[in-house]
Copies of this chain bind each other. A is one copy, B any other.
Amino acid sequence: MTDRATDRPPGPTTPKAQGIAAEVRRRIVEREWRQGDRIPDEADLATEFGAARATVNKALQLLADEGLLDRRRRAGTRVAPAPIRKATFTIPIIREQVEQAGMAYAHRVVSQRLAPPPAALAVRLGLARDARLIHLVTVHEGDGRPFQYEDRWLNPAAEPELATVDFRQMSANEWLVRNAPYLRADIAFHAANASARDARLLDIAPGRAILVLQRTTWNEAGPITSVRLACHPGFVMTAEA
């Protein structure tokens, strides 16, 4: 947009593929092409837009990833009958989340000890009942008030450096995000009434509704960590499509 320079006539130079994607998206949204319709093939669109087929392919690929188009070899490209749209949210570093909200961040380790996993966890992670894990409970604070509290199990077998980290210096959340890339993650959230323990650690009344995130990450050596993250009441998680 802000692209004065020598001032080429039209201006901002959007990549061609994106321009094509936008135009196709418009035709779908404005019902020029309706749900289930077959749209012209790549070669025809390439001619129409004065682009190479590879460029049109990129554009349509993009819309297929968005869920707006269904594409099959030989069968052609159709407007998805039920556009299954996806939303994405980012897994944040809690410190940054707090600081972006304009609060001063601090975190406090409530307990840390070596322990074998509870039965349910051992099953879920596929670990032996006598595996040696680190159990860590931490409260994240904003302006001195509890913001989120995490109950986390760490598996040094999958990530040896874990055994040497001082989690009072850097929270496990941040250390992991910065140092332990993972191959696979499971994420789930639900609402829960605050238990006595939740209430005490978050400094709220028992029974208040809190948002709970469960997250487990794996690398090639096995599960790295599994965490239950309880958010302060009023916490809103946002995503975009």
| A contacts, CB < 8 Å to B | 25-26, 28-30, 35, 67-68, 81-93, 177-179, 181-193, 207-212, 219-220, 231, 233-241
Asked if B83 contacts A177 (CB within 8 A), the reply is yes
A174 CB → nearest B CB, Å: 8
Q: Which of A177, A182, A209 has the most CB of B within 10 A?
A: A209
Known: A185-B85, A220-B30. A35 touches B237 (CB 8 A): no
Known: A35-B178, A187-B241, A209-B192. A86 touches B91 (CB 8 A): yes
Known: A88-B88, A220-B29. A236 touches B182 (CB 8 A): no
A195 CB → nearest B CB, Å: 11
> How far apart sit A25 and B83, CA to CA, in the bound complex (Å)?
31
Asked if B209 contacts A189 (CB within 8 A), the reply is no
User: How many subunits of this chain does the assembly comprise?
Assistant: 2
Contacts of A35 in B (CB 8 A): 178-179, 181
> How far apart sit A29 and B188, CA to CA, in the bound complex (Å)?
23
A183 partner, pick from B25, B89, B207, B235, beta carbons under 8 A: B25
Contacts of A92 in B (CB 8 A): 84
Known: A189-B189, A220-B29, A238-B188. A91 touches B87 (CB 8 A): yes
Contacts of A186 in B (CB 8 A): 238, 240
A84 partner, pick from B90, B179, B184, B191, beta carbons under 8 A: B90
A230 CB → nearest B CB, Å: 10
Asked if A29 contacts B240 (CB within 8 A), the reply is no
> How far apart sit A189 and B234, CA to CA, in the bound complex (Å)?
10
Asked if A87 contacts B89 (CB within 8 A), the reply is yes
Contacts of A183 in B (CB 8 A): 25, 29
Known: A220-B26, A234-B190. A241 touches B184 (CB 8 A): yes
Chain B residue at minimal CB-CB distance from A190: B236
A177 partner, pick from B29, B82, B231, beta carbons under 8 A: B82
> How far apart sit A180 and B46, CA to CA, in the bound complex (Å)?
27
Asked if A191 contacts B210 (CB within 8 A), the reply is yes
Asked if B208 contacts A193 (CB within 8 A), the reply is yes
